[in-house]
C-alpha cells in the first residue's frame, strides 16, 4: 500500500492519498489543499474520498476535490447528517459555514473498501471500524496486509486521543472504541493530525487507551 501525506495548513486535518486513487480526509482550506494535492498526486485519478468523521477541518475542502476529480464521497452512516450542520460539524469554530454535501456511500461496521492492488497483485482493502467518541459516527480504517491504521481523530501518535466534548461527541464510548483498536496488529498509525507512527504503533495505541481510561473511566 502506497501512502502519501499532505499537511495543508495549520488547522487542516492530514490528507492521505492511498494508492493514488483514494483520499482519506480532505482538510479544510481549498486553496492550500488543492495546491498541495496537485503537487503530490494526479487529482483526476482520485476515485473515492473517505471522511473519518464529519468535522469541518476534515471536509471543508472536499467540494473542490470532488469537482476536480469526479470522485465519490463516503462517510460512516451516523455521521452523515453532521455534514449539513454548522453546529455538529464545528464549522463555526473555524470561522466558516458548512455547505450542502451529500455522500455517495454510507459505511457500516465491518465494511471492506477496495483500494487497488498491492505489490503482490492481490486486492487491498480498508476495513471500517466504528469508533464513536470524538463524534458519534467516527470510524477508523485498517489495512491488514501492511498493518496500517488510519485513525482520524480517535487516537494520535504518542498516546494522544481526540477531544470528546463536542455537541455530537460520545465520551462514554471513547475508551471502548480505543480498546477495539488495541486488539489490532498495527505497525503504522496514520492519524488525523500530527505525525504518523511508522513502527510498532500498538505501543502508541496502548498509551492512548490508558489516557482515555483516565479521562473517561
| All domains of the chain in start order, with CATH | 3-215 (3.60.15.10)
Q: Are 11 and 5 in contact (CB under 8 A)?
A: no
Q: What is the pLDDT of residue 119?
A: 74
For residues 77-92, give the mean pLDDT.
96
pLDDT in tens, 53-65: 999 999 999 999 9
pLDDT band at 10 (very low <50, low <70, confident <90, very high): confident
**Confidence at 181, pLDDT banded by 50, 70, 90:** very high
Pairing verdict, β 72-76 and 105-107: parallel
Residue 78 backbone phi and psi in degrees, to 5: -80, -10
Q: What is the pLDDT of residue 111?
A: 98
Query: Does the structure show a pLDDT above 80 at 139?
Result: yes
Query: Does residue 8 or residue 151 have the better pLDDT?
Result: 151
| Contact criterion met (CB below 8 Å) for 16 and 141 | no
Burial class of residue 44 in the structure, from the number of CB atoms within 10 Å of its CB (0-12 exposed, 13-18 middle, 19+ buried): exposed
**Which alpha helices (DSSP H) does the chain contain, by range?**
30-40, 56-59, 62-69, 86-89, 171-182, 201-215
Contacts of 204 (CB under 8 A, 6+ apart): 155, 157, 158, 159, 189, 197
Could you give the CA distance from residue 42 to residue 34 in angstroms, rounded to a whole number?
A: 11
What is the spatial order of strands in the sheet that 3-6 belongs to?
3-6, 15-18, 22-24, 48-50, 72-76, 105-107
pLDDT of residue 9: 85
For 88-110, give one letter per residue: b (16+ CB within 10 A) or e.
Answer: bbbbeeeebebeebebebebeee
Percent of the chain surpassing pLDDT 70: 100
pLDDT of residue 182 exceeding 80, the answer is: yes
* Residues 143-170, mean pLDDT to the nearest whole number: 96
Give me the phi and psi of 54, to 5 degrees please. -100, 55
Nearest Cα to 139, choosing from 157, 127, 156? 127
pLDDT of residue 120 exceeding 80, the answer is: no
Of the pLDDT bands very low, low, confident and very high (cuts 50, 70, 90), residue 213 is very high
The answer to whether the CB of 74 falls within 8 A of the CB of 49 is yes
Question: Which pLDDT value is given to residue 121?
Answer: 74
Amino acid at each position: 500500500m502506497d501512502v502519501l501525506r499532505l499537511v495543508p495548513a495549520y488547522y487542516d486535518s492530514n490528507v492521505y492519498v492511498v494508492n493514488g486513487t483514494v483520499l482519506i480526509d480532505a482538510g479544510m482550506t481549498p486553496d492550500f489543499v488543492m495546491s498541495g494535492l496537485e503537487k503530490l498526486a494526479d487529482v483526476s485519478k482520485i476515485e473515492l474520498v473517505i471522511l473519518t468523521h464529519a468535522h469541518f477541518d476534515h471536509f471543508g475542502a472536499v467540494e473542490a476535490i470532488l469537482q476536480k476529480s469526479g470522485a465519490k464521497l463516503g462517510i460512516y452512516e451516523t455521521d452523515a447528517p453532521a455534514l449539513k450542520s454548522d453546529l455538529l460539524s464545528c464549522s463555526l469554530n473555524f470561522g466558516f459555514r458548512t455547505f450542502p454535501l451529500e455522500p455517495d456511500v454510507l459505511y457500516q461496521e465491518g465494511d471492506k473498501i477496495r483500494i487497488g492492488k498491492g505489490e503482490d497483485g492481490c486486492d487491498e482493502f480498508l476495513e471500517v471500524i466504528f469508533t464513536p467518541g470524538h463524534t458519534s459516527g467516527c470510524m477508523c480504517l485498517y489495512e491488514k496486509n501492511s498493518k496500517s491504521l488510519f485513525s482520524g481523530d480517535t487516537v494520535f501518535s504518542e498516546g494522544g486521543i481526540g477531544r470528546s466534548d463536542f455537541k455530537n461527541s460520545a465520551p462514554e464510548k471513547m475508551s471502548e472504541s480505543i480498546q477495539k483498536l488495541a486488539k489490532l496488529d498495527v505497525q503504522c498509525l496514520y492519524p488525523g493530525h500530527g505525525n504518523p507512527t511508522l513502527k510498532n504503533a500498538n505501543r502508541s495505541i496502548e498509551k492512548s487507551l490508558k489516557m482515555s481510561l483516565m479521562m473517561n473511566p
